[in-house]
Chains A and B, each alone.
Chain A
Amino acid sequence: MCGIVGLHLKNAELYPRLGELLVPMLDCMASRGPDSAGVALHDGHAMHVVKDVGPPVEICVRNGIAERGGFQGIGHTRMATESAVTTQHSHPFAPTPDMAVVHNGSFSNHATVRRRLARHGIGCTTDNDTEVASRFIGHQVAGGADLADALRMVLKELDGFFTLLVTTGTQFAVLRDSFACKPAVIAETDDYVAVASEYHALAGLPGIGDARVFEPVPEEVYAWTR
């Protein structure tokens, strides 16, 4: 149970400001997830994941997130539900070197999916449900699925309530479960796509007043490619 944010920049002029724009978004989600926070930034060459226990702003300051650039990034603030409050249990989860996953909600059959993945030789390092989902998506993509198809497989295999936000070296995707009980708002302009659990995380973005603001509908994959 948490807050999630994501920013996919279309306008290259904004790339240097990625961190500067993302940090206030994450800060707005602090009340949804007071336990820990993290971000994953894609600069076009590599993905950088930073996560830690504590309030999001402190973590961002400590790691100089606001000074970092890139073409997209996601972030997460965590209110731990069933697993421990540690850095390892924090989001984003990175199942592969260029994929990051954040999640708001709660999966109800992650133990079974975890065992299924183990049979394919894929182990999880924590008992966190989001790690299972992230490894499941990573496994699908490694097997040749494109990201949108991998997310559709999530709908088939994972039960429960979720809003998922996934980034790869080229893509940015959002998915909500069939009940769509965990919030998500998307704002799109010519310059960017931004996603957050609540609108106020988007409110400070440039040109937000003219953005197309909408909520993702259940079971539909929304994906953007660089």
Chain B
Amino acid sequence: MAAAPLPMDARRPSHTFGPQTIAAIQRMAEEGHYEIRGWGAKRVLPTFDDLVFLTASVSRYPLEGYRERCETRTVLGARRASRPLELDIPITIAGMSFGALSAPAKIALGRAATAVGTSTTTGDGGMSEEERAASHLLVYQCLPSRYGFNPADLKRADAIEIVIGQGAKPGGGGMLLGQKVSDRVAAMRTLPAGIDQRSASRHPDWVGPDDLRIKIEELREATGWEKPVYVKLGATRVGNDVKLAVAAGADVVVVDGMQGGTGASQDVFLEHAGIPTLAAVRLAAEALRELGVEDEVQLVVSGGIRTGADVAKALALGATAVSLGVAPLIALGCNGRTWVRDGVAHDATADYRALGTEPGYCHHMHTGRCPVGIATQDRDLEARLDPEAGARRVANYLRSVTMELTTMARACGKSDVHNLEPEDLVALTVEAAAMAQVPLAGTTWIPGRS
């Protein structure tokens, strides 16, 4: 005999203690440990989706697609560097470490960036030969851990990025669980293989903007004042931090919003620290304007940027360029159902299942068991990613995003994407209007201004 259906009331979920919260508490009770995972914030946040463009009509005139050129060339770092970075598009690839990512993934990202004329970035763990060879323009990160950091690589880099924090975990240090600390990764980082690696959250040789100023001078002295120096910040007290980065001498300030991804972090950081990219870009642009250096110091924005619309909105709000991390990984095949070898698609669903997830929901970079060979150091798994095919996919994706960007810019009557401005935007929600400081659609109202 079938059990009688439960009355409606008996299945009423709690918002405070929903099924996921119950599961999380039960897990902590069993393991005595916080959750560590990859990817970025999963919660609902105000995003660029809450903004729309006021494209041209009668008062302004659009450019013709395909026929009338819309410039995307972007120069970063001309403030003090004798060799600024000249990019064909304002879309760059963010720092992700060899270690967090497999060698084929790093190679694919480098080749894709090279193919579309933009830069890619090293990560925690230093510069690998493959990566340098694959990347025409390579930004070398100087991180608190200084794993594998050395002056020879510094000199063969195209720009230097001093990482103070990242949006996924501002105020926290890097993390790489033992499964991914392979012999090669361990050797590059001067660590015993297989340990759960936790990096420092402050730099070992300076603390605070007054000392950062001296550090930046050291890096410039060591490289003949050639290379642009970026300072990367996790978005928290953005206004203050951007001003201090400029005072310390940065050529480029990179602001990474809370949607930014990571190879492994405490879940509590991913979901509860930092501010959304939408708010961060506006605050950063405002800080540069207040200092009067908006034409001198470039702003690069990252954290959850996916489409040409996102890029266009970030540029309109004051960014000179954007930086992408998770999106190119997805282009590479992250969260895809299959991986391909010799033209044959292999289903990876069972491998996702083994991690306790499914394609479309995976955030399991921390396990080192990436089903599609991207976030792993396992030989068999990384062999699932063909760097050549991967590079093609990422390049295709970056070209498509660029086309979306120029489509939007042309429709706004701009012959250069850098001429997009906040006045080209309105907001669909009060939150987005307040954060971006653009009017709510259909009104002239900007929350907090009038």
Contacts and interface: CB of A to CB of B under 8 A. Distances in A.
21 contacts: A1-B209, A1-B244, A2-B210, A32-B210, A32-B213, A33-B210, A34-B247, A79-B209, A79-B210, A79-B247, A80-B243, A81-B240, A81-B244, A82-B237, A82-B240, A105-B208, A106-B208, A161-B207, A181-B202, A181-B207, A182-B208
Interface string B192-223: 00000000001000011111010000000000
B117 to A, nearest CB: 37
A95 interface: no
Given A105-B208, A161-B208, A181-B202, 9 more contacts: A1-B209, A2-B210, A3-B210, A31-B213, A32-B210, A34-B247, A79-B244, A82-B240, A181-B207
Nearest to A179: B207
Contacts, number: 33
Nearest to B206: A181
A3 B209 CA distance: 11
Interface string A20-35: 0000000000011110
Q: Which of A1, A80, A161 counts the most B-chain CB atoms under 10 A from its CB?
A: A1
A105 B240 CA distance: 14
Which among B202, B208, B237 has the highest number of chain A CB atoms within 10 Å? B208
A197 B207 CA distance: 13
A103 to B, nearest CB: 12
Nearest to A31: B213
Interface in A171-226: 181-183, 197
Interface in A42-59: none
Contacts of B240: 81-82
Contacts of B210: 1-3, 32-33, 79, 104, 197
Contacts of B244: 1, 79, 81
Contact of B208 (A31, A34, A80, A181): A181
A195 to B, nearest CB: 16
Interface string B243-257: 110010000000000
Contacts of B213: 31-32
Interface of A: 1-3, 31-34, 79-82, 104-106, 161, 181-183, 197
Contacts of B202: 181
Main secondary structure of the interface of B (DSSP, over half): helix
Contacts of A105: 208
A61 to B, nearest CB: 24
Interface string B318-351: 0000000000000000000000000000000000
A1 B237 contact: no
B246 to A, nearest CB: 11
A183 B211 contact: yes
A81 B240 CA distance: 6
A130 to B, nearest CB: 14
A128 to B, nearest CB: 13
Contacts of A182: 207-208
Nearest to B248: A79
B201 to A, nearest CB: 12
Contacts of A104: 210
A1 B245 CA distance: 12
Contacts of A3: 210
A83 B162 CA distance: 24
A126 to B, nearest CB: 15
Contacts of A183: 211
Contacts of B247: 34, 79
Nearest to B202: A181
A81 B211 contact: no
A2 B237 CA distance: 19
Contacts of A81: 209, 240, 244
A208 B238 CA distance: 42
A161 B206 CA distance: 13
A183 B247 CA distance: 19
A122 to B, nearest CB: 26
Contacts of B208: 1, 105-106, 161, 181-182
Contacts of A197: 210
A152 to B, nearest CB: 23
Contacts of B211: 183
B113 to A, nearest CB: 35
Contacts of A31: 213
B305 to A, nearest CB: 28
Contacts of B209: 1, 79, 81
B326 to A, nearest CB: 31
Interface string B172-196: 0000000000000000000000000
A1 B243 CA distance: 12
Contacts of A33: 210
A216 B213 CA distance: 23
A183 B240 CA distance: 21
A105 B211 CA distance: 11
A207 B202 CA distance: 37
Closest 9 CB pairs of A and B: A181-B207, A32-B210, A1-B210, A1-B208, A1-B209, A82-B240, A79-B210, A79-B247, A79-B209
A221 B402 CA distance: 59
Contacts of A106: 208
A34 B202 CA distance: 24
A32 B212 CA distance: 10
A198 to B, nearest CB: 9
A80 B239 CA distance: 12
Contacts of B237: 82
A181 B201 CA distance: 13
